Amino acid sequence: MLMPLGRIGLLAFFCLGLSGPTAYALTNEDCLMCHANMEPRLDASVFSQSAHGGLNCQDCHENIQDVPHQTQLKLVRCGNCHTQEFAEYQLGVHGKALANGTKDVPSCASCHGTHDIFPKSDVRSKVNPLNLPGVCSGCHASQEITRRHPLPSPEFIESYQKSVHGQGVLKSGLVVAAVCSDCHGGHRILPASDPASLVNPKNIPKTCSKCHAGIFRDFTRSAHGEAWRAGKSYGPVCTTCHTAHSISSPRTAAFHGGIAEECGGCHVDRTPSYRDTFHGQATSLGLIRAATCPDCHTAHLNLPKENPHSSINPKNLPGTCGRCHGQVSKGFIQYDPHPDPKDKSKNAVVFYTYTFMNWLLLGVFAFFGLHSALWIQRSLVASVRGEFPRLDKEGPWVRRFSQTNRMTHLVIVISFLLLAATGLPLKFHYTPWAKVVEAIFGGIEVTRYLHKLFAVVTFGYAITHVSYLVYRIYKKGELNLLYGPFSLTPRPKDALDLLANLRWFLYMGPRPKLGRWTYWEKFDYFAVFWGIPIIGGSGLMLWFPGFFTKFLPGWVLNVAMIVHSEEALMAIGFIFLFHFFHTHLRPESFPLDTVIFTGSMPLERLKEERPEEYELLVKKGELERLIVPAPSNSLLRASRIFGFVALTVGLCLIWAILITAVLHMLAL
130-161 pLDDT, tens per residue?
A: 888 888 888 887 766 666 666 666 777 888 88
- Look at residue 537 and tell me whether its pLDDT is greater than 80: yes
Pick from 324, 294, 328: nearest CA to 311: 294
Flag whether 471 is in a domain: yes
3-state secondary structure of 602: strand
The model's confidence at residue 184, banded by pLDDT at 50, 70 and 90, is very high
Flag whether 92 is in a domain: no
Number of domain units in the chain:
4
Q: Are residues 171 and 153 in the same domain?
A: yes
Q: Are residues 230 and 283 in the same domain?
A: no
Flag whether 208 is in a domain: yes
Q: Are residues 299 and 395 in the same domain?
A: no
Q: Are residues 527 and 653 in the same domain?
A: yes
pLDDT tens per residue across span 43-88:
778 888 888 888 888 788 876 766 666 544 556 788 888 999 888 8
Q: Which of 29, 52, 74 is the endpoint of a domain?
A: 74
Q: Which of 212, 240, 268 is the endpoint of a domain?
A: 240
Give CA–CA dist 314/102, Å, rounded.
Answer: 61
Burial 560-592 (b: 16+ CB within 10 A, else e): bbbbbbbbbbbbbbbbbbbbbbbbbbbeebeeb
Q: Are residues 470 and 511 in the same domain?
A: yes
E strands of 164-315, at which residues?
A: none
Tell me which residue range forms the domain holding 356: 348-627+635-667
pLDDT tens per residue across span 298-352:
999 999 999 999 999 999 999 999 999 999 999 999 999 999 999 999 999 999 9
- Whole-angstrom CA distances from 519 to 131, 566, 601 are 79, 24, 20
Q: Are residues 426 and 452 in the same domain?
A: yes
Give CA–CA dist 569/198, Å, rounded.
Answer: 53
Q: Are residues 133 and 56 in the same domain?
A: no
Give CA–CA dist 668/28, Å, rounded.
Answer: 79
Sequence-distant (≥ 6) Cβ neighbours of residue 465 within 8 angstroms: 408
Q: Are residues 535 and 614 in the same domain?
A: yes
- Look at residue 438 and tell me whether its pLDDT is greater than 50: yes
% residues pLDDT > 90 (the chain): 59
The model's confidence at residue 106, banded by pLDDT at 50, 70 and 90, is confident
Q: Which of 240, 267, 287 is the endpoint of a domain?
A: 240
Q: Are residues 359 and 293 in the same domain?
A: no
Give CA–CA dist 67/59, Å, rounded.
Answer: 17
Interval 557-572 mean pLDDT: 96
- Whole-angstrom CA distances from 372 to 547, 560, 579 are 43, 31, 10
Burial 268-285 (b: 16+ CB within 10 A, else e): eebbebbbbbbbbbbbbb
Flag whether 93 is in a domain: no
Most confident region among 39-53, 169-183, 538-552, 578-592 by mean pLDDT? 538-552
Flag whether 333 is in a domain: no
Q: Regarding predicted confidence, which is higher, 476 or 370?
A: 370
- Look at residue 651 and tell me whether its pLDDT is greater than 70: yes
Q: Are residues 289 and 235 in the same domain?
A: no
Flag whether 101 is in a domain: no
Q: Computed from CA positions of residues 197, 198, 199, 205, in that sequence, does the dihedral angle turn out positive or negative?
A: positive
pLDDT tens per residue across span 14-25:
444 444 455 556
Give CA–CA dist 256/294, Å, rounded.
Answer: 10
Burial of 195 (0-12, 13-18, 19+ CB in 10 A): exposed
E strands of 507-650, at which residues?
A: 600-602, 627-628
Q: Are residues 301 and 392 in the same domain?
A: no
Sequence-distant (≥ 6) Cβ neighbours of residue 341 within 8 angstroms: 276, 350, 351, 353, 354, 558, 562
Flag whether 336 is in a domain: no
pLDDT of residue 71: 47
- Look at residue 118 and tell me whether its pLDDT is greater than 80: yes
Give CA–CA dist 545/364, Å, rounded.
Answer: 30
Flag whether 90 is in a domain: no
Q: Are residues 486 and 373 in the same domain?
A: yes
